[in-house]
């Protein structure tokens, strides 16, 4: 989960349903207990292609808009104040929803009720698709958003597309990075800078394990879901595709098999900690005492290490993600958030001005100045972003042994990524991942079998939602 105005990540929160979906609109309801999605029929017709919404445009110059999101109160108020100064006829009421999960749940409830949705809403990237499918957030192409693709880094931008159209604009980026503890690596006789491929990573894992530490942890819980999607994404896997009301689930493609075989080897040889889930107290303790020697995780991680592993100040380093093929420079995304406009909004023109301001305009720079890892190339490429003398950068760079951290992260953010989709019932996919895949890490079953069971569960859920599902 990326923050609106901070690279610090707390515990993680968790394509067109147009005329071809018939008159029964797929509405997604989230149960409060387990954030599981169930489909039900509602009046009206959902349209991911967004039928004429002209009645909802409103006055672009004079409006009172409500926006939902999460983040630091002080920094959020700075954004609101700056926007209202630039747009004196528009007043913004910002409702802090607390977390990404609470935001998507509240939006789902408003959709089900037929009213109460905000004008603009902040969503975690993987959840955008589910609201795009139902037509409950609008295609932003009407505002020229489809012409902005070259302005944003590829990873976040690609995640927010449905049927080739942008349904949200990215706030931040989370390129998957390789963070490692140089002190632990040195003890094992491993040069972290020499790890260029996953084969290199495997050889390093064996040496590190011999010292009593683990190269990393994977427990297969729902908190590991974003790690899972990021890693299979980088491996070139396409475990599911969404085409309107048709979903294909295929856990047997080359990328998935590459990932499964590699991770199974790490499990079988006791090279990774399979008992400690991400974002747990034990996880923070093991990062702080050197039990865990590295992480593959999003670029928003530095602040979390500074806060949760203070005893390792000066020891951690950041490097590019290992590659499946030597010489490649393939990245993927872990986390990220975005702004969308709801179909219920009666002030869509004013809402667009807000979205454009905070993601692409002056507000994006303001967010970057207060800690957001921007998805805008012009910010990532700016001298100020990589200036090691700024107070924020100096603090981070000192923790990382003098590295210019932002310079490395910015380079990673602009590496190519494969296209990757999320399921339109992503919260269910996250919960089901923890239910099924965790069994491979407790060695009840193989990872291949666990993934097979997971695929069946995803297919069943899709059919219950009313999709036509092909399971390969």
Distance of CA 292 to the CA centre of its chain: 23
- What are 154-164's pLDDT values in tens digits? 999 999 999 88
Residue 319: its pLDDT value, please?
A: 98
DSSP letters for 75-96 = HHHHHHHHHHHHSTTEEEEEEE
In a 3-state reduction of DSSP, which class is residue 330?
coil
- Residue 452: what are its φ and ψ, rounded to 5°? -60, -45
- What are 315-331's pLDDT values in tens digits? 999 999 999 999 999 99
Neighbours of 200 (CB within 10 A): 17
Residue 72: its pLDDT value, please?
A: 66
- Classified by CATH at the fold level, domain 176-332+419-471 comes out as D-Maltodextrin-Binding Protein; domain 2 (3.40.190)
Structure token pair of residue 340: 């969308």
Listed as ranges, residues in the chain with pLDDT below 70 are 1-55, 72-73
Structure token pair of residue 362: 């002056």
| Alpha-carbon span 196 to 198, nearest angstrom | 7
Using CA atoms in the order 186, 192, 197, 203, what is the torsion angle rounded to 10 degrees?
Answer: 0
- Residue 57: what are its φ and ψ, rounded to 5°? -65, -45
> Could you check whether 19-173+335-380 and 176-332+419-471 share the same CATH topology?
yes
Residue 101: its pLDDT value, please?
A: 84
Predicted TM-score of the model (pTM): 0.83
Task: Name every residue whose Cβ is closer than 8 Å to that of residue 113 and which is 6 or more positions away in sequence.
Answer: none
Task: Name every residue whose Cβ is closer than 8 Å to that of residue 250 and which is 6 or more positions away in sequence.
Answer: 238, 239, 240, 241, 256, 455, 471, 472
In the chain, where are the structural domains located? 19-173+335-380, 176-332+419-471
Task: Name every residue whose Cβ is closer than 8 Å to that of residue 203 and which is 6 or more positions away in sequence.
Answer: none
- Classified by CATH at the fold level, domain 19-173+335-380 comes out as D-Maltodextrin-Binding Protein; domain 2 (3.40.190)
């Amino acid at each position: 989960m990326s923050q609106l105005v901070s690279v610090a990540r707390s515990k993680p929160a968790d394509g067109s349903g147009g005329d071809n979906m018939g008159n029964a609109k797929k509405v997604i309801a989230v149960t409060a207990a387990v954030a599981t999605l169930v489909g039900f029929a509602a009046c009206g017709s959902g349209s991911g292609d967004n039928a004429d919404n002209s009645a909802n445009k409103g006055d672009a110059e004079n409006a009172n808009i409500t926006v939902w999101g999460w983040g630091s109160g002080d920094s959020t108020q700075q954004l609101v104040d700056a926007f209202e100064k630039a747009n004196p006829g528009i007043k913004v009421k910002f409702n802090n929803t607390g977390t990404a999960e609470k935001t998507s749940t509240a939006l789902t409830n408003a959709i089900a009720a037929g009213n109460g949705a905000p004008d603009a809403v902040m969503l975690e990237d993987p959840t955008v698709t589910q609201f795009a499918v139902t037509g409950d957030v609008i295609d932003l192409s009407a505002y020229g958003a489809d012409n902005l693709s070259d302005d944003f880094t590829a990873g976040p931008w690609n995640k927010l597309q449905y049927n080739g159209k942008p349904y949200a604009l990215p706030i931040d980026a989370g390129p998957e990075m390789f963070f490692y503890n140089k002190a632990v690596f040195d003890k094992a006789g491993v040069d972290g800078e020499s790890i260029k491929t996953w084969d290199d990573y495997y050889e390093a894992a064996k040496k590190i394990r011999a010292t009593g530490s683990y190269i990393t942890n994977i427990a297969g819980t729902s908190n590991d879901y974003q790690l899972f999607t990021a890693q299979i994404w980088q491996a070139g896997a396409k475990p599911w595709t969404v085409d309107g009301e048709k979903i294909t689930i295929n856990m047997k493609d080359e990328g998935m098999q590459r990932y499964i075989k590699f991770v199974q080897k790490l499990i079988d040889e006791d090279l990774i900690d399979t008992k400690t889930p991400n974002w747990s107290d034990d996880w923070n303790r093991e990062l702080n005492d050197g039990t865990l020697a590295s992480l593959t995780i999003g670029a928003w991680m530095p602040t979390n290490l500074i806060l949760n592993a203070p005893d390792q100040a000066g020891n951690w380093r950041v490097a590019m993600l290992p590659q499946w093929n030597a010489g490649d420079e393939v990245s993927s995304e872990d986390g990220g958030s975005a702004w969308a406009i709801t179909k219920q909004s009666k002030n869509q023109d004013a809402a667009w001005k807000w979205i454009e301001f905070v993601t692409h305009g002056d507000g994006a720079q303001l967010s970057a100045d207060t800690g957001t890892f921007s998805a805008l190339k012009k910010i990532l490429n700016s001298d100020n972003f990589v200036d090691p003398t700024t107070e924020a950068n100096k603090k981070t760079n000192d923790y990382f042994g003098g590295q210019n951290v932002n310079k490395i992260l910015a380079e990673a953010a602009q590496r190519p990524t494969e296209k990757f989709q999320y399921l339109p019932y992503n919260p269910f996919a996250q919960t089901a991942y923890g239910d099924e895949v965790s069994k491979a890490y407790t060695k009840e079953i193989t990872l291949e079998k666990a993934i097979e069971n997971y695929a069946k569960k995803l297919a069943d859920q899709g059919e219950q939602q009313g999709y036509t599902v092909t399971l390969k």
